[in-house]
Structure 1
Amino acid sequence: MAESKRQSIVGKVATPKVGPTKDVIDGDSILYKAVGARIKITCAPYENVLEGTLFTTCNVTNAIAINTAPAPPNPSALLASQPGDYHIIPFAHILSFELIGMGERVSGSGPGFDGALPSISKVDMDAIKSREEQTIREMKKRDAQKGKGVSKEAQEIFDAISRTLPTRWADTKIVVNDYVIVSPPYTIDNLQAAPGGERTLAQTCKILEAHFQRKKTAGNRAPVATPIAPRKGG
């Protein structure tokens, strides 16, 4: 009886209603009950087709996760030991899906998360939010390290100084340790130091001297000739 019911489910195609105003996928939906099963899913906007194991559906993030990694050659291998190639797909991008095979589940369990193998743990939303905030801070910091409307050479000088001293941009000027200003064209003659910034000024001078010396040495280096293989046949 169970086998005939399973076969009756496999192969059925369901096209969920999608769009920004659709209801969340709840415990009675086909996708929720298919967690752990093999599915083939068609996604907007280019009708890409993914086939794999439905890992989870989430009505908090309004997305599903599907593992498209091929199953290991040993059929007796535990599902938890299988490789993972996960794709996150928003509900609104799901055009259609096809249930092509039932997955491994805990014996006697009902549909959904509780019987899925490998088991699905509760998502720590606080940890995710903390990681998101940390990533945003790092992105803002990296963006602040990129000069706006400056040359490649100016950015190279900024990067060289910032590896040793705290450095920030102020329009097109480089501010070092809040004591020294390096103005365009960013040579040693364009340094200005505030009172008390003598040490920072000396360090900045050394960094600029080393930077320009490296550039000069690299420019004077003879190009390496690439040998040409002899032509066949003389």
Structure 2
Amino acid sequence: MADKRNSIAGKVATPNLKVGGGSSKEAIDVDANLYKAVGSRIKITCAPTNNVLEGTLFTACTLTNAIAINTAPAPPNPSAPLASQPGDYHIIPFAHILSFEIVGSGERAAESGPGFEGAMPSISKVDLVALQAREEQTIRDMKKKDAQKGKGVSREAQELFDAISRTLPTRWADAQIVVNDSVLILPPYTLESIKAPAEKAQSEAHVRKVVEHYYNRKKVPSGGAARAPVATPIAPRKGG
């Protein structure tokens, strides 16, 4: 089955191409001429308000059916590399391009062909597999983070959960805290609320110590344990 997206790309946005201010009104091929113009200075007229943008064509993407143009002014020194220019990028869909004119060849690598390979600064291919892997990992991390937040529990319960999860595998099961997949801490999350099967007595004892330590630390003032006042010796007065 043909790729519907690619078939549409040839139909939408067939702007007119004028090279160097010429009068040619021949419709361009998006996949060819825009691609070849990467790195060139171009002037485009955009719908719906007929606004005109002039700058360096950074990329032409048939995957998203859009171009990116850097409208930052060219450096005063013509020999300065385009990489030194400040960036002022605009993303424009193909369908919004009414006309397209090449006004300068721009900077390209020596003896390079048209398109991305000769563009300056160089443009690397996007690794779609790496991007998809990063997206999937981000989704997994977000789900994991969301699973670490109790639903409908108090702030104190969440703080206890966070403290335990720093050292032990911990998850929520409704309003219950599950530690090591064997020990339950039920509301109101006290030492008496800790439950575990008989064969998990050792794990229960460990969790109980962690919870007890957590509550003991909460009782201590933020500045640490209170110190007994130190008596300052008073020097005897002269003359008795």
TM class, shorter-chain normalised?
A: 0.5 to 0.7
Counterpart residue identity of residue 178, structure 1: D
Partner residue in 2 for 1:199: 202
Contact 1:166 1:177 in 2 (8 A): yes
- Which deviates further from its counterpart, 115-124 or 171-180? 115-124
Contact 1:39 1:97 in 2 (8 A): no
Partner residue in 2 for 1:171: 174
Contact 2:70 2:90 in 1 (8 A): no
- Report how many aligned residue pairs link the two structures: 196
Q: Which runs of 5+ in 1 are unaligned?
A: 10-23, 44-49, 222-234
Partner residue in 2 for 1:114: 117
Partner residue in 1 for 2:218: 215
- d(CA) in 1 for partners of 2:191, 2:45: 60
- Which deviates further from its counterpart, 201-210 or 50-59? 50-59
The structure number with the bigger radius of gyration is 2
Partner residue in 2 for 1:28: 33
TM-score (ref. length: structure 2): 0.60
TM-score (ref. length: structure 1): 0.61
Residue 195 of structure 1 deviates from its aligned partner by 3.0
Q: Which runs of 5+ in 2 are unaligned?
A: 1-18, 23-28, 47-52, 225-240
Counterpart secondary structure, 1:196: helix
The CA RMSD measured in Å over matched residues stands at 4.3
Partner residue in 2 for 1:155: 158
Contact 1:52 1:66 in 2 (8 A): yes
Partner residue in 2 for 1:21: none
Residue 191 of structure 1 deviates from its aligned partner by 0.6
Contact 2:67 2:94 in 1 (8 A): no
Partner residue in 1 for 2:60: 57
Are 1:141 and 2:162 an aligned pair?
no
Contact 1:37 1:99 in 2 (8 A): no
CA deviations on 1:110-140 (whole Å, 9 max, x unpaired) are: 6532331122233222222222222221121
**1:118/1:136 CA distance change after superposition, 3 Å:** same
Partner residue in 2 for 1:91: 93
Identity of aligned residues (%): 59
